[in-house]
A and B are shown apart, each in its own frame.
Chain A
Amino acid sequence: MNAHSPRPSATAAAPGVAPARKKKTGSRAWRAVRHNLPFLIGASILLAVALIAICAGVLYPGDPRDMVTLPLSWPLTDNEYPLGSGSLGTDLASGLAHGAQASLLVGVSAASVGLLIGILVGAIGGYFGGIADDILVRITELFQTVPTFLLVIVLVAISGPSLPIIAGAIGVATWPTVARLVRAEFRTLRSNDFVLAARSLGYSTTRIIFGEILPNALPPIVVTTSVLAANAILTEAGLSFLGMGDPNLVSWGSMIADGRSLLRTEWFVTALPGAAITLTVLSLNLVGDGLNDILNPRSESNR
C-alpha cells in the first residue's frame, strides 16, 4: 500500500551528493500537479483560507468579540454583515476570519512540534537500530496507546489553556505517526549506497542523518504533515468547543460552542464555523492525497 518510488542510488562517491529527488522528478512532478484536480482544488481552498487568516486584521480590524450590530441577524439579510451576527451582536464574518488565524496557527505549530519530535525519534531509532531503537519503539507504542484527545486534554488542563500549550500538547500526543514513518524510511535508506559513500568519506553522523538521509525521506513526511495539520485543527476545534481553548482568541471551535445554546433557532451560528473547519480540513486532506500521488507515482492507483 505504501509504495514509494524507487530511490536513485548515487554511484559516485562525490561528497554531499545524496540523490536529490527534486531534480530528477521536477518536470514530471509539475505535470502531475497540473493534472491532479483534487490537489488543485485543495491547494486553492487552503491558499484562500491562509490569505483570509493573514489579512484578518486588515479586513476586520478590531476585536471579533465586539458587539457591532444587532444580535442574531441571519446570513444574507444585512449587507454590511453578510454572514450574520452572533448572540452578542458580533460579526460572524470577522469571527470566521480571525478563527482561521487561530486554526491555521494551531495546525501549523502543532504539526511542527509533532514533526520535530517524530523526526528526531524516528531518525535516531531507524538509523542506529539496536537498543536505542528498541527503547524508542517502546516509547512510541506507549504514546500510541494513550488516547490522543484525552492526553491533550490532560496536558492542557495541567498546563493551562494558551495557544503554545495547546499546539505543544497536540504535537506531543501525535508525534508517534511521524516517528514510525521516519523510522521505516531510515531503516530502508541507511544501507543505501549514498549513505555508505557518505560514511566512507568520514561525514559526521549528524550530517549523514540530516544532510543525506532526511532529504530523501522527505516526500512521505511531507504527505503526513498535511494529515497532521488537519488532525491538529480538528483537535483544537474539539478543545475550544469544550471550553479549553485559548480564552484570548476567537477560534472556530469556540464559535461553535457559542452557537450551541442557539441551536434550536439560530443554528447558522453553529453551522458556519463548522463548515469553515470542514472546508479547511478538506483542503488539507486533498493536498495530502494529491502530494501522495505526485511524490509517489506508483501508489496513485490505490487511492
Chain B
Amino acid sequence: MAAGRVVKVLSKTLPQAVPTMLGIVVLNFLLLKMLPGDVADTIAMEAGSATAESMAALRERLGLNLGLFDQVLVYLNNLIHLDLGKSARLGAPVTTLILGRLPDTLMLVLTALGFALVTGVLLGWIMSAFAGKWPDRLISVVLIFVYAMPGFWLGLMAIVLFSVKLGWLPSNGSASIGANYQGWAYFIDRLRYLVMPALALSLFYAAIYARLTRSAMLEVQQQDFMRTAAAKGLHPIVMQFRHALRNALIPVTTVAGMHLGNMLGGAMVIETVFGWPGMGSLALDSVINRDFAVLLGILLLSSLLVILANVIVDILQSWLDPRIELR
C-alpha cells in the first residue's frame, strides 16, 4: 500500500478521532469530579496532616478553586504534558506507573487478538467449506459453548488441566523469575507463560470471528466473481485464498478492531487470574486501595488505545477494501 494512501486515510480519520478524544477527557474529568473528596483531600490524606489554610493554598495551587470549565482546561493542559497526577498509594506519577505496565498488557492483548483472528478465520473457513455437514455442526456446537464461557473461568479450568494435572505450563506470572534466560530459551519461557492467559482471553472472540467468517465466506461463494474465477481454471485453493478470503476478511477486521477495548477490559480479569503484571492487575490494585488517579489514568489510556486501534483498522480497511473511497 502506498504511503500516500495511509496519509489520506489519516487525514480523514484523525479529525474524527479528535472530538472523541476530547469527549473521553471530559468524561474522565467528570468521573474524577464524582469522587468523594477532591485531589487536595487525597494529597492531604497522603501527607497525614492538614490545616484549613494549607488545604486552601493547595486547592489554589491545583486550580480547584476555579470554575468547572477552567478546571477542565487545567486538566487538559496537564494531560498534554502527560501529567495524570500522582498515585496516592505509591507516590509515583500515574503516567510512569501505567507505561511500566503497558508492554505486558499489550503483549497479552495483541497475542490474544492475533490468536483469535487466526483461529476464528480458520475455523470459520472450515465451517463454510463443510456448511451443513458434520464438521460444521460439530464446530458450531463447540463454539456456542465457548462463546458462553466466562474467559476467566476458562483460564482457571485451564490451570487445573495444564498446570495442576498435566504440569505442562506455569500458572502465575509472565516469566520465570531469576532464570535469566537468553535468546531462544527466553522466548520459549515467555511463550509458556503467555499461552494460557492469551488463550483464555481470546477464545470468546475466536468464536465470534469463526461465525462471522463462516457467514461471510458462504456469502462470497455465491458472488459472480467466484464463478468468473472458476471459469479461469483456477485451483479451488487459489480461488478460496485470493478471491474469497480477502473479501470475507473485510467484515471480520471491522469487528475485530472494535473488540480491542473489550479485550483490554477482559484482560483485567485474566491478568488477575494468571498474576500477569499488566495494567489490569494495576487497575485492580488501585480499586482495592481506592487509588483513583491510577484507575482513571488507565481508563483514559485504554480509551486512547481504542481510538488508535480504530485508526489502524481504518488504514487496514482501505487496504483490504479499495471500494472505500477516500474523499
Contact = CB atoms under 8 A, between A and B. Distances in A.
The answer to whether A binds B is yes
Contacts of B35: 158
B54 interface: no
B306 A153 contact: no
A139 B27 CA distance: 10
A299 B23 CA distance: 37
Interface string A222-247: 00000000100010011001111000
Task: With a 10 A CB-CB cut-off, give which of A147, A234, A274 has the most chain B CB atoms.
Answer: A147
Chain B interface size range: 35 or more
Interface string A286-303: 100000000000000011
Contacts of A138: 19-20, 23
A286 B23 contact: no
A81 interface: no
Given A242-B269, A274-B157, A278-B150, A154 B31 contact: yes
A55 interface: no
A20 interface: no
A105 B147 CA distance: 21
A273 B164 CA distance: 20
A interface: dominant SS: helix
A282 B251 CA distance: 24
Contact of B164 (A1, A150, A264, A285): A264
A240 to B, nearest CB: 11
B247 interface: no
A12 interface: no
Interface in B258-293: 258, 261-262, 264-266, 268-269, 272-273, 283-284, 287-288, 290, 292
18 contacts: A1-B251, A142-B24, A147-B299, A148-B261, A149-B269, A151-B299, A152-B265, A155-B31, A238-B266, A242-B284, A253-B150, A256-B150, A256-B153, A256-B156, A271-B160, A274-B149, A278-B150, A285-B144
Interface of A: 1, 138-139, 141-142, 144-155, 157-159, 230, 234, 237-238, 241-244, 253, 256, 260, 263-264, 267, 270-271, 274, 277-279, 281-282, 285-286, 302-303
